[in-house]
Amino acid sequence: MKIYLRLLQYIKPYMPRLVLAVICIIFASAANLYVPWILKDVIDEVLTQKDMVKLNTIAAGIIAIYFLRGIFFYGQTYLMSFIGQRVVIDIREGIYRHMQRLELAYYEKRKTGTLMSYITNDVAALQGALIDSLIEMVTEGMILIGSVAAMFYLDWKLSLLTFITMPLIAHTMKIFGKKMRSASATLQERTADITSVLQESISAERVIKSFVREDFEIDRFNRQNFSNFRAQMRTAQLTATLTPMIEFLAAIGVTVIIWLGGREVIEGQLTAGALIAFLIYAVNISNPVKRLSRVYSNIQKALAAADRIFAVLDTKPEIKDAPDAIALPSIKGHVTFDKVGFAYKEGEPVLQNVDIDAAPGQMVAIVGPSGAGKTTIANLIPRFYDVTEGCIAIDGFDIRTVTIASLREQIGIVPQETVLFNGTVYDNILYGDLNASEEQVIAAAKAGNAHKFIIDMPEGYQTQIGERGSKLSGGQRQRIAIARAILKNPQVLILDEATSALDTESEQLVQEALDKLMIGRTSFVIAHRLSTVQRADMILVMEKGRIAERGTHEELLEQGGLYSKLHQVQFKSND
C-alpha cells in the first residue's frame, strides 16, 4: 500500500481531472445499480397490476439513464486515460532525469539493457495499474458498495448470510497477492535480461559475424527467452488459479441466496420481484469481487515494477554538488594534483600520491603500460569520480567546491572511442555549443580538418550519419568529435588516446586538428604511441598507479628509465 500510495503522488497535479473522472465513474456505475430495481418494479407492480403508465415511465427512464451513462462513460474513459498517460510520462521523465544525474560508476556496474528496461518495460507495466486498474477498481467498488446497500435494504437477514464467504475470499486474495508480486518481480527481471541480450547482440553484430557466432547468440537469446516464458507461465498459473477459486467461493454465496430466498418467497416473507432484484445484486457483488481480484493481481504486477523504478529513483548520486558549491569562474587552466590517491574499490588503490602541476597552456602527456592509471587521471579532472585522497584544483579552486556543471563546461574531452549521435553532421558539431551560429559551426569544422569531407557528402552538413556515426569512417568520426570540442572552446582539454585506433593517413589529419585544438589550452594527452607526445611540455610516466618519471622527451631519454625502454621497444617495432 505504501508503494501504491507513492505512485498515486504522481496524480496530485491532475487532481481536478481525477475528481471529475471519479464523478463520471460514480454516475456510470449508478446506472448499473438502477437496472435490478427497475426489474423489481416491473415484476411486482407492472406485471402484477398491469399498469401501462408505470411501464411507459420505466421504459423512458431506461433510455434516459443509458444515454446519460454513455456520456459519463466517455468522460471517465477520456479523463482517466489523460491522467494515466500524463503520469506515465512524468514517471518516465523523472527516472530518465534522475539517471542522467547519476555518476559513471552507476552505469559501469549495470547492463545497458537493464537500464533501458526500467524506462520502457517497467514504466509500461505501471500504465495498466494507473489507468485500467484504477478505473475498474473505482467502478467495481461503487457497484459492490451500492449492491450491498440495496441487498440490506431488501432483506438484511438474507444479506448477512450471503457474506459468509467474504473472509475466505479476502484471505485467498492476500495469499495469492504475495505470490503474484514475487512472480511478477521475477518476470520483470527476465524481461530486462532479454532487453540486455538484444542490446548487446545488436550493437556487436560485426563481432558476432566475424567470429561466426550467430548460432551461439541465437542459443543465448533462446535461453533468456525460455526463462522469460517460464516466468510468464508462473504468473499465468497464479492468475488462472485465483480467479476460479474466487468464483467458487462467490458461487457458494449465490447458492445460499437462492435456497433461503426461494423459501422466503414461498412463505410470503419476500416478493418475487424483490428476490430477483436481490439475486441480481448478489451477482453484481460476485462479478466485482472477481474483477477486483484480477485488478489486485494487476496491481501486484505493477508494484513489482514500481519497486525497481523506485530503487532507481532512491539511488543517491555519489558525485554531486556540495551544499555550498559555487560556480567556477572563467579559468586560465592551471591544474594541480596534490598527493592524489584513488581506488575504485576500498583497499585496492589505483592511484597513489600523484602530484601534477600543469601551467595554463601547457601540454602534459601521460604514458605508461596498460593498467597504470592513465585514464583514471583523465576521469578525475572533470569529476567523473572523486579522489579518495588529496585534492585536485583548477586555478586554485578545489574542484569539489564548485558546481559540476560549471566545471565540466570548461573542460573538453576527445575520447578514443568517439561517440556521435544519430542525426546530422551539423547537429553533432553543434552539440559542443547549442547556442553557436552556423558560421561558428563551419569554422569549428574547418579547424578540425572536417570541412572538406563534409561538403563532399551528399547533403553536406545536413547529411544523416546513422547511429553512433556508422556511415562515417573512424577518422571522419574523430574529426567531427574534435570540431565539437573546438566549438565548445574549453580551457582544459583531455585527449584520451584520440588517434590510437586510426590508420596512418587519418592519424595525420586528426593530429593536425588536435594540434590546432591544443593551442592556448591546458592539455592532458594520454597516449600509447610515444611519437605523438614528443613535443609535450611535460611527460608523466605512470607505473602501478604512481608517477615513476617526469620530464621532457629528451630528459626522459637521457635518464634511461621506463620511458626510454618503452621508446626503444616502440621504435624497434616500427623499424
Pair (537, 450) in one structural domain: no
pLDDT at 240: 78
Query: Would you say 155 and 261 are in contact if contact means Cβ atoms under 8 Å apart?
Result: yes
Report how many domains make up the chain: 3
* Angle (CA) 339 340 342, round 5°: 145
Residue 574 has pLDDT above 60, yes or no: no
Q: What is the rounded CA–CA span in Å between residue 115 and residue 289?
A: 37
Split at pLDDT 50, 70, 90, the class of 262 is: confident
**CB within 8 A of 361, min separation 6: which ones?**
333, 520, 521, 522
Distances (CA, A) of 441 to 307, 337, 421, 429, 446: 45, 34, 16, 7, 9
Q: pLDDT value at position 290?
A: 65
Domain with 514 in it: what CATH number? 3.40.50.300
Q: Which of 292, 315, 304, 13 is nearest to 133 (CA)?
A: 292
215 lies in the same domain as 76? yes
- Phi and psi at residue 455, in whole multiples of 5°? -70, -15
SS3 of residue 478 by DSSP: helix
Residue 502 clears pLDDT 60, i.e. is over it: no
Residues 6 or more apart in contact with residue 223 via CB below 8 angstroms: none
Whether residues 373 and 403 fall in one domain: yes
* Domain boundary, last residue among 457, 489, 521: 489
Q: Which amino acid appears at position 526 of this protein? A: I
Query: Which H, E and C letters describe 114-153, residue by residue?
Result: HHHHHHHHHHHHHHHHHCHHHHHHHHHHHHHHHHHHHHHH
Q: Looking at the structure, do residues 402 and 424 belong to the same domain, yes or no?
A: no
Which DSSP helix (H) or strand (E) runs through 507? Answer: helix 504-518
Q: Are residues 84 and 125 in the same domain?
A: yes
289 pLDDT more than 70: no
User: For position 124, what pLDDT does the model report?
Assistant: 77
* Structural domain for 156, as ranges: 2-313
Distance between CA atoms of 286 and 253, rounded to whole angstroms?
9
Grid coordinates representing 541 are 610516466
Q: How many CA atoms lie within 13 A of 539 on its CB side?
A: 26
Q: Report whether 221 contacts 201 (CB < 8 A).
A: yes
For 51-98, write each residue's pLDDT tens digit.
Answer: 777 778 777 877 888 888 889 888 888 888 888 888 888 888 888 888
234 and 212 both lie in a single domain: yes
Residues 271 and 167 in one domain: yes
Q: Rounded distance, CA 109 to CA 96, Å?
A: 17
Which range has the worst mean pLDDT, 177-186, 278-287, 410-419, 495-504? 495-504
Provide the b/e sequence for 335-360 (b: ≥16 CB within 10 Å): bbbbebebbeeeeebbbbebebebee
- Pair 143, 180 in one domain: yes
Report the 10 Å Cβ neighbour count for 152. 15
Grid coordinates belonging to 98? 534522475
Residue 25 belongs to some domain of the structure: yes
Cell of 350: 589505483
In this prediction, residue 504 has a pLDDT band, given cuts at 50, 70 and 90, of low
Confidence band, pLDDT 50/70/90 cuts, at residue 230: confident
The rounded distance, in Å, linking the Cα atoms of 166 and 250 is 8
Residue 498 included in any domain = no
pLDDT tens digits for range 327-337: 999 989 899 99
State whether 169 and 103 are in the same domain.
Answer: yes
pLDDT at 503 over 60: no
End-to-end CA separation in angstroms for the chain: 72
Each residue's pLDDT tens digit, 149-161: 887 887 777 777 7
* pLDDT at position 575: 43
387 contact partners, CB below 8 Å, separation of at least 6 = 340, 341, 342, 380
pLDDT-based confidence at residue 169 (cuts at 50, 70, 90): low
Report how far residue 33's alpha carbon sits from residue 281's, in angstroms, rounded to the nearest whole number.
8
Average pLDDT over the chain, rounded to whole?
81
Q: Which helix (H) or strand (E) holds 495?
A: strand 492-496
Contact 305/126 with Cβ under 8 angstroms? yes
Q: Evaluate the CA torsion angle 67, 70, 71, 76 in order and state its sign.
A: positive
pLDDT of residue 403: 92
pTM of the shown model: 0.68
Question: Domain ends where: 267, 285, 313?
Answer: 313
Same domain, 171 and 260: yes
Matching residue, cell 430477483:
276
C-alpha 522/C-alpha 454 separation (Å) is 29
Please indicate, yes or no, if residue 318 is contained in any of the structural domains.
no
Sheet with 538-543: strands ordered across: 411-414, 492-496, 522-526, 363-367, 538-543, 546-551
Give, in order, the Cα–Cα distances in Å from 405 to each of 35, 400, 440: 64, 12, 23
Residue 381 falls within a domain, yes or no? yes
Sign of CA dihedral 163, 164, 168, 174: positive
- The CATH number covering residue 302 comes to 1.20.1560.10
Q: Pick the more confident residue, 79 or 131.
A: 79
531-554 pLDDT per residue, tens: 777 888 898 988 888 988 888 888
Is the predicted pLDDT of residue 573 greater than 60, yes or no?
no
Q: pLDDT above 70 covers what percent of the chain? A: 89
CA 529/CA 567 separation, integer angstroms: 9
Quote the pLDDT of residue 62: 79
Q: How far apart are CA 272 and CA 277, in angstroms?
A: 9
DSSP string, 314-356: TPPPSS---TT-BPPPP----EEEEEEEEEEETTEEEEEEEEE
> Do 532 and 566 fall into the same domain?
yes
Same domain, 97 and 217: yes
424-457 tens-digit pLDDT: 889 888 888 888 899 999 988 888 888 888 898 8
Query: 496 - beta bridge partners?
Result: 526
Between 570 and 347, whose confidence is greater?
347
Residue 171 is assigned to a structural domain of this protein: yes
Instruction: Give φ, ψ of 118 to 5 degrees.
Output: -55, -45
Q: Does residue 364 register a pLDDT over 60?
A: yes
Which of 73-82, 94-103, 285-294, 462-471 has the lowest average pLDDT?
285-294
Query: In one letter, which amino acid is 60?
Result: A
The answer to whether the CB of 195 falls within 8 A of the CB of 117 is yes
| 3-class DSSP state of 365 | strand
Output the CA torsion sign for 338, 343, 349, 351. negative
496 within domain boundaries: no
- The reply to whether 454 falls in a domain is yes
Q: Is residue 162 part of a domain?
A: yes
